[in-house]
Structure 1
Amino acid sequence: MRFGLCVFQELLSTLQFDPVECFSRHSGRWAPFGSMLNKRCRHGVSLVACGRRLYAVGGYDGQSNLSSTETFCPLSRQWSFCAPMSCHQGGVGVVTEVTLS
């Protein structure tokens, strides 16, 4: 089973614990996408693409809900921590707002 789906740079990304995987519609295959700093699984984690980054928010590490957030940089192919949420959350939803000028 795969959880936490997100389209990012024309790739479909998913995660269940570690590592994140991405699906290339060009090759038709799943491939590792880089290990996150915290393991996150099940329906508790949300992924969102914003600008040139992918964000993982909340989730469950196998023992408890997480307040941490991480961002993936495609240039370095590395995950780094962002500001955490104010409380531990599982089952969160994340959206981005598009501002039209």
Structure 2
Amino acid sequence: MSGGDWKDMFGAACAGDVELVRYHLDQGVDVDYAHPEYQSTALVACILAGQEEVAHLLLDHGADPGLLSELDEATPVQAARQARLPGLEARLRAATSR
């Protein structure tokens, strides 16, 4: 992993700190990385935390809309449905149907 701090980005994503997430992405943190200690992707974790704006930012930076988060046992689409974020769910469905 190059630059930035994935754990700090993960925490910022779950907390909804858009600017800190953006900083770490700009520093080269892998948007799809799932740390062995966490076994969760930042995208699914932030969706389950209700952080829709962060989820869109991660997607804009290339997050895989179909990547399973092992710990959560959910894809981003499943997480968006569970978190009741219909706009985000629609974007994820459109992105995974291509």
The alignment's TM-score, normalised by the length of structure 2, stands at 0.25
* Structure with the largest fraction of helix: 2
* Structure with the largest fraction of strand: 1
Structure showing greater relative contact order (alpha-carbon pairs closer than 8 Å, 6 or more residues apart): 2
The alignment's TM-score, normalised by the length of structure 1, stands at 0.25
